């Protein structure tokens, strides 16, 4: 929590200082123009990269696979887009790094290493051998019919 607090205090101070220094060096209107230009270029890059990532995710789903990497890359793209729309040069640099495929994949790996993604396949849910993205009934167990089986009822308590 302290990290976020410091981030929301330090980043704006750095951005304002940098904007003032750049404004003094090249002029206020040129600085505003650079900020608007970076936002415009960033939005167009975001559109192209987002469509590309969405197409890869749809292809993986059509193949019956979970598009985990593509979903995380989509999150990195969204963060990058938000950073590009935020006025400032530091946020623009980080935002552009989120849009470049090479660095975006590294950011996605970093995000995935920090969080555990749990995916439950259809087989784990109901014994069906299909993935969640392919909706075909198993010949021995048609969907919609309950199967007979053992039901185990219990309680869970963690003791450390």
Alpha-carbon distance values, 129 to 59, 134, 139, 141, 159 (Å) = 20, 10, 10, 10, 35
- Bigger pLDDT: 81 vs 122: 81
Instruction: Tell me if 96 is assigned to some domain.
Output: yes
Q: Which of 41-45, 63-67, 156-160 has the lowest mean pLDDT?
A: 156-160
Percent of the chain whose pLDDT exceeds 90: 28
Percent of the chain whose pLDDT exceeds 70: 78
Rg (CA), the chain: 23
Instruction: Tell me if 127 is assigned to some domain.
Output: no
Q: Are 127 and 141 in contact (CB under 8 A)?
A: yes
Q: The whole model's pTM is what?
A: 0.65
Residue 28's contacts (CB-CB under 8 Å, 6 or more residues apart) are: none
Instruction: Tell me if 29 is assigned to some domain.
Output: yes
Instruction: Tell me if 67 is assigned to some domain.
Output: yes
Instruction: Tell me if 31 is assigned to some domain.
Output: yes
Instruction: Tell me if 68 is assigned to some domain.
Output: yes
Of the pLDDT bands very low, low, confident and very high (cuts 50, 70, 90), residue 147 is: low
Q: What is the pLDDT of residues 34-45, one digit of tens each?
A: 999 998 998 888
pLDDT at 69: 85
Write 35-44 long-range contacts (CB < 8 A, 24+). 35/87, 35/88, 35/89, 35/92, 38/84, 38/89, 38/92, 38/96, 39/84, 39/85, 39/87, 39/92, 42/80, 42/81, 42/84, 42/85, 42/92, 42/95, 42/96, 42/99, 43/81, 43/84, 43/85
Q: How far apart are CA 22 and CA 32, in angstroms?
A: 10
pLDDT at 91: 92
Q: 37: domain range?
A: 2-115
Instruction: Tell me if 149 is assigned to some domain.
Output: no
Give mean pLDDT, residues 88-112.
90
Of the pLDDT bands very low, low, confident and very high (cuts 50, 70, 90), residue 155 is: confident
What's the number of domains the chain is made of? 1
Instruction: Tell me if 135 is assigned to some domain.
Output: no
Q: What is the pLDDT of residues 110-140, one digit of tens each?
A: 888 877 655 544 444 555 545 555 544 445 5
Of the pLDDT bands very low, low, confident and very high (cuts 50, 70, 90), residue 66 is: confident
């Amino acid at each position: 929590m302290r990290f976020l607090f410091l981030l929301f205090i330090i980043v704006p101070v750095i951005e304002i200082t940098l904007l003032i220094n750049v404004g003094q060096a090249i002029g206020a209107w040129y600085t505003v123009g650079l900020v608007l230009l970076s936002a415009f270029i960033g939005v167009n890059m975001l559109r192209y990269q987002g469509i590309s990532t969405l197409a890869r995710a749809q292809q993986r789903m059509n193949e019956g696979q979970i598009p985990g990497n593509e979903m995380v890359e989509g999150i990195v793209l969204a963060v990058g887009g938000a950073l590009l729309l935020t006025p400032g040069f530091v946020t623009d640099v980080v935002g552009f790094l989120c849009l470049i495929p090479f660095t975006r994949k590294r950011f996605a790996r970093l995000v995935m290493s920090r969080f555990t993604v749990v995916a439950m396949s259809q087989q784990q849910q109901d014994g069906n051998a299909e993935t969640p993205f392919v909706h075909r009934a198993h010949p021995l167990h048609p969907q919609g019919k309950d199967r007979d089986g053992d039901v185990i009822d219990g309680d869970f308590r963690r003791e450390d």
